[in-house]
Chains A and B, each alone.
Chain A
Amino acid sequence: MSQAEIQTRKGASLRGTLSGQSLGLILGILPLVSFMGVFFFWPLWSVLWSSFQDNVGAFTLANFQVALGEPYKTAFSNSISLGLISAISSAIPGAVIAYVIESRGGERLRQFVASISGVLSTTGGVPLAFMFIAAYGAEGSATAVLRAFGINIYAGTFTLYSLAGVIFVYSYFMIPTMVIVFSPAVHGIRKEWQEAAKNLGATTAQFWRRVGIPLLFPSFISSLLLLFAAAFSAYATARAMTSGSVALVPLMIGNLVDGNVINDQMNLGKALAMGMVLVSLVAMIPYLLIQRRASRWQ
């Protein structure tokens, strides 16, 4: 190979990495990226843009001022509590199930639990609401079965059509979701680590306090955040269950869009939607960061 040839090759490959190759790379993802641009990012951008406009298109902060006042303030606080309580009350049983199945179940059982969880995690919406109304309503046979075992869910002030009811219904798809997202983390707690700790003289409790829980904690928190985001923004089930009796942000946005509630600021709904996006981002950005970190040792 002559000197000149080497030079050109070098030049070509250099230029290749800079332009030709990257152009090719970008072409490969162009269809997907443009699709997401048109049908996802462009609509979101338009919400952001319009949320700062008044009815004639001039810049204003008035939509956000109204969105931060009553009744929307209560709706935000309800939605955030719904998200938090729902996430915590599903994350704990989900984590326990994931741990017990991963550590004690055979390969076949794990596979089975994974596919069942996958199916259950996609439920939701109106059918799930009706299923719970039929089963755990005052006349439902699930209520009767529980009562026969001494558990009367209607002994207190519980009704399905309240925040507590919605949290109960959400657990039907949130616990399986937790099992799915938390299992890989539990799987990552290697048997060898437990044995190594034991060989170094640690008790089981010490292993969990010093090794197990510190390792699982980030994944637990990140799964919790994912569940929070799901419960915070869920719309269909909440709407079918409460038919508007509980003030939640997505339902209020829905009422504005459907024209059930008239507000003279036509972009108020967009400001509320941006508020939801903001809350979700605050929850999901740490989720993504922790996931990336956790994937290092999994």
Chain B
Amino acid sequence: MFAKLKNLPLGIVLFISGVFVLLPLGSAAEFSLRQPASNDHGLNNYLWIFEQPEFAHYIGISIALASVASLILLVLLVPTVVWLNLKGQKLRPFVDFITLMPLVIPVVALAIGAQNSLPEFAQTNQFILSFLYAVLAMPYAYRTLDTGLKAIPLKTISEAARGLGANWFVAIFRVITPVIRGTVLSALFMSLALSFGEYTVTSLLHWDTFTTWVTVISQQNVMGAIALSVFSLLAIFIFLLLVGLLAKPATSQALKEEE
């Protein structure tokens, strides 16, 4: 009884937070199943989405752009963060600072700047978006990788690899990266999800992706746009939660032992 009373504030907070998170989500999901024509619920709005010829086209574009962005980030960040943790302690404050900046500077300013400064050939190729998405996901990916690398005995591992004759390239990509694959995966999926949902830069540079397409179709079919929004939110939630669970098997194992 005493224990229950003591946990009352926790219960209240969990209940209110749960309602706050799930009520709009569940309610929007219900709304997206409404069929005003026949006044019942069904999958019509979702079927309508899949009938749109642009659907596959834009999903394809968005996945391609997000994949390239994530690849750029990993290739750039994994070696740099390993390097910083091994040798570059002095440069840390500087690198911490420049990788945090995309969080500080309004995205609108970056979009205008890109439009203003990048050469013609870069602006006429949609893959320029991947580079800008990589910039925007940088603060998150950098911190994720940094936390992951701090949790392993990096020095020992790299010295062992180097001692056995591996060069830096082999040490980073074939020894260290597999050790932190959980962290690399979370950084990868985080940047995939962020890039997939990016709207500001995409629309200000006048490109169309899955995200901007949703606003376009909302003008023809609001129910379709709502169904699409619910679908993409739920897909990203499930995706990120699964990754979160998969990426931390070691921690949850440790927790189990603790209990």
Contact = CB atoms under 8 A, between A and B. Distances in A.
Interface string B186-211: 00001001100111100110100001
A170 interface: no
Contacts of A197: none
A244 interface: no
Interface in B198-240: 198-200, 203-204, 206, 211-212, 214-215, 218, 225-226, 228-230, 232-233, 236-237, 240
Main secondary structure of the interface of B (DSSP, over half): helix
A127 B232 CA distance: 7
B88 A29 contact: yes
Interface in A105-156: 105, 107-108, 111, 115-116, 118-120, 122-136, 139-142, 145
Interface string A236-270: 10001000000000100110011000000000011
B163 interface: no
Interface in A153-179: 172, 175
A29 B83 contact: yes
B28 interface: yes
Contact of A104 (B10, B83, B200): B10
Interface string B85-99: 001101100110111
A108 B83 contact: no
Interface residues of A, number: 77
Contacts of A229: 103-104
Nearest to B237: A119
A288 B102 CA distance: 14
A46 B113 contact: yes
B251 interface: yes
A44 B21 contact: no
Shortest beta-carbon contacts, A-B, top 3: A43-B113, A233-B106, A46-B117
A36 interface: yes
Contacts of B101: 36, 40
Interface of B: 6-7, 9-10, 13, 17, 20-21, 23-28, 30-32, 72, 76-77, 79-80, 83-84, 87-88, 90-91, 94-95, 97-118, 131-132, 134-135, 138, 190, 193-194, 197-200, 203-204, 206, 211-212, 214-215, 218, 225-226, 228-230, 232-233, 236-237, 240-241, 244-245, 248, 251-252, 255, 258-259
Contacts of A123: 233, 236
A97 B116 contact: no
A291 to B, nearest CB: 10
A131 B25 CA distance: 7
